[in-house]
Structures are given as structure tokens and as C-alpha cells.
Amino acid sequence: MKEMYCSLGISEKVYEYGEEVLSTLKGRFQEIDEGAEYHQLKVIDAMRKEHVGEACLYGTTGYGYDDIGRDTLEKVYAELFGGEEALVRPQITCGTHAIALALFSNLRPGDELLSIAGKPYDTLDKVIGLRDEKGSLKEYGISYAETGLTSSGDFDFEAIKKKLNERTRIVWIQRSRGYAVRPTLSAKAVGRAADLIHSLRPDVAVMVDNCYCEFVERAEPLSLGADLIAGSLIKNPGGGLAPIGGYLVGKRVLVENAANRLTAPGLGKEVGASLEVLRSLYQGLFFAPTVTASALKGAIFASKLYEGLKVEAFPLADEPRYDIIQSLVFRKSEALIAFCRGIQAASPVDSFVRPEPSPMPGYEHEVIMAAGAFISGSSIELSADGPLREPYSAYFQGGLTFPHAKLGILNSLEYLYREGLVVL
Ligand SMILES: *Cc1c(COP(=O)(O)O)cnc(C)c1O
């Protein structure tokens, strides 16, 4: 094995340090494998219950009336995530679109959206109208309020009570932290918040940005009290095979509102041809538990490997995980750049591409990105990025298989090692 890694450019020292780190992670990896097993059984159970048949794998064209594959897939998602109804569509273009759909369809002029885990993901600024944009919620007369987490990373229930008012219609909870510095929220924490909010205001819907959290924990937010979850199919639930799509699952009325907004009032879920993607959406969902487990193992391996080299890791290798994101604080731009280049060079696609920091729309600083993915922009595949600013943190995620994640992480360290940015 060592020879194999060496022939791929990993030096003996890096390989041996990696093996030493891995030997300490056996117990943790076993837990993750058990989680994958649990979710694999759940996925198969849902597919059996909903009678997924061969006919479901073929798509429709045109209006997409009576698309049995699309309708059955939505039943599978509803069953799996514990909701009454689901909307799982290639016409939902990405995670931001799924979230925007949930919000626009369930808020009316005069309503207020209350985010209780601080400022949502950057791409939602213009959806909400925090930065001016045509067609934002703000333009429709929908206001926005926010409470942050406490210093211990919990919801600030006192502040939430104060901010809830007669106009509040949706309480929004983003679980994964995006580029913010805060812990990811567990399904249990979301459930506790939902219970409190419902006890104060039964008419308020608790909606959850579930991006990167699917299949990480055994519990999912809907079974603990949330009303709607939303996410992207080119993250965890697409299993790396879904080429496009987003999902919403939750209370019937909330999902029906979203369907009427995605298509048109009166058409709702009845239209929307699935074209050629259904087989990938089903097969991707089938693979999603083990793919998510591979990504989790990669994240834990990376944190342990770099922790040992005095790079700050969030979360730490031994901490509980509620999403697949790992951040590593390099403190030096050269180290962040070398890390991303090492990840890129270990990719199955575009391994020969050398990432360079460059300006990005919506970002103040240059950003460097590593992504050698089969599906463009897919972040369930091994990928990393980071803004070129203090403290030079890399955000790292994905890995369809653990051997690929392992190679990518070892190669990132190889690049740092060769440039003298770490000492082994
Ligand atoms: C990825 C992500 C989004 C947005 O999804 P896109 O598919 O990139 O539009 C929203 N929220 C969180 C927490 C995310 O991780």
C-alpha cells in the first residue's frame, strides 16, 4: 500500500503519519459505519414501502402528468425524512432555490421571517433583501428579524421570545454554519427550539435549512418537531449521482404552497417532467448513506491529521458531528493555497488544474477553490474552498469514497510538507 501511495506522489513520512492518525480513529469510524448501516436500511425500507418499481426509473417529458417515478420518489422522501409531503424536483435548481421557494411560497406581504441561528448563508442575503436585489422578500413587503446563538452555541430563547411578534410567520433555522463561526446545530437542538416556538406560537412554521446534515445523525428534524426541511441534491441526499435538484419535505400545506409557487397556482405538483434524471435521483439516494459516511470519515481524518500539526480544526476530531463540513484554520495564505492545490491534484476529474485565488461575485476577498467533480459544483464530492483573508481558513467537505478522501487529504498535507509549511 505504501508503494502505491508513493507512486501517486505521497512521501513516506506523510503516508506514515497518516497511518498513525488513522489507527487512532478505528472506533469513531466504526460508529460512522453503523450510522450508514442504519440509514441504508431506512432508505431500502422507504423504497420497499412506496413500491419503487422499474417503471419509476424512467422519466416523462412535456407536462409530466402522471409521472409515477417523480411522484413515488416524493413519497419515498416524505417517508424517509418523516414529513407528510415532499417536493423533489430537477426544476429546483440548487439549495438556495429550494430555500427561496420555501420562503416565498409561505410568506405573504406584511409577514416577518425570523432567523434564530444568526445571519443565514451568504446566498440568502439577496433572497431576504439584506442586500438589494430585484424580487427579494423585502421588495414584497416581507420583513426580516434575527437572533444569534449564545456564546455556548445554543439558541437564545430570551431573545427569540422578544423578537416573536404577531407578524412572525416563519422561524428559520440554518443547521450547518456556512462561513460563519459557530457550531452546527443538531436535530435535537432544532427539535427543542421548534417545541418552544410552537408552545408560544402554534401558528408559526419552523423551517430548517438542512444542507449537509442529511444522514449524519440518526434523528432528522421533522420527527422532532420542525415543520419543513429544505436542501440540495448535489449535497448529501443525491449521493453524488444526482446531476441537479433540490428538495422540500414537511407539512402538507407548506409543501403544497411551495409546489404552487414552483409551477403555478392550480398546477402544483401535477406538472414538472422528470426528463432523464430519476434513475440518478433514486440510485443517488440509495448510495447517500454510505457516501455521507465516507465524507464524514474524511472530515474526521483531516481534522485529526491537521490537529496534530497545530492547525486549528472546527469541529475537533473527537467532537460530535452534525454535518460533513470541516474547517481548518491555516493562518497563512500560502498554506491555504497549498491545501487546495493538493486536494485538486488528487481529484479524478481536472487533477491537472492548478487552483488560483480569484475574485468571486458577492465576496469581498479573493477565494480559492478546489473541485474536481463529476457533477459540476457538487460539494458531496471532495472539495475545498477558502477566502484569502485572515485567518486563512479552508472549508473542506465531501468524498464519494473514503479512499479518495484519504488520498486527497494526504496529498494536501504533501503539498504543505513539500513547501516547508508544516514539519513532520
Ligand atoms: C450549500 C448551502 C446552501 C445553498 O445551496 P446552493 O446549492 O449552493 O445554492 C444554503 N445553506 C447552506 C447551509 C449550505 O451549505
Q: How far is the CA of 421 from the centre of ligand 1 (A)?
A: 32
In three-state secondary structure terms, 83 is coil
Model confidence pLDDT, tens digit, residues 148-195: 999 999 999 999 999 999 999 999 999 998 888 899 999 999 999 999
Helices (H), 308-401: 333-345
Supply the pLDDT for residue 362. 62
Residue partners of 376: CB distance under 8 A and separation at least 6: none
Please give the grid coordinates belonging to residue 419.
Answer: 513547501
Q: How far apart are CA 88 and CA 299, in angstroms?
A: 28
Ligand 1, pocket-test mutation among 97, 208, 211, most atoms within 8 A of CB? 211
Q: How far apart are CA 372 and CA 225, in angstroms?
A: 38
Q: How far is the CA of 231 from the centre of ligand 1 (A)?
A: 7
Q: What's the mean pLDDT in 275-286? A: 98
Length of the chain in residues, anyone? Answer: 424
For residue 94, which atom of ligand 1 is closest to its CA? 7
Q: Determine contact, residues 250/225, Cβ cutoff 8 Å.
A: no
Model confidence pLDDT, tens digit, residues 358-390: 998 767 789 999 999 999 999 999 999 999 999
Cβ of 210 less than 6 Å from ligand 1: no
Q: How far is the CA of 211 from the centre of ligand 1 (A)?
A: 6
Give me the long-range contacts of 399-404 (CB less than 8 A, separation at least 24). Answer: 399/294, 399/295, 399/297, 399/298, 400/240, 400/291, 400/294, 401/291, 401/294, 402/293, 402/294, 402/297, 402/298, 404/294, 404/346, 404/348
Residue nearest to atom 14 of ligand 1 (CA): 211
Residue 409 has pLDDT above 80, yes or no: yes
Ligand 1, pocket-test mutation among 119, 190, 232, most atoms within 8 A of CB? 232
Query: Sheet containing 383-387: which strands, arranged edge to edge?
Result: 312-314, 326-329, 393-397, 383-387, 367-371
Q: How far is the CA of 397 from the centre of ligand 1 (A)?
A: 13
Please give the grid coordinates belonging to residue 64.
Answer: 409530466
For residue 246, which atom of ligand 1 is closest to its CA? 7
Model confidence pLDDT, tens digit, residues 224-262: 999 999 999 999 999 999 999 999 999 999 999 999 999
Supply the pLDDT for residue 180. 81
Nearest alpha-carbon partner for 73 in 290, 291, 254, 279: 279
**Is the whole-model pTM more than 0.85?**
yes
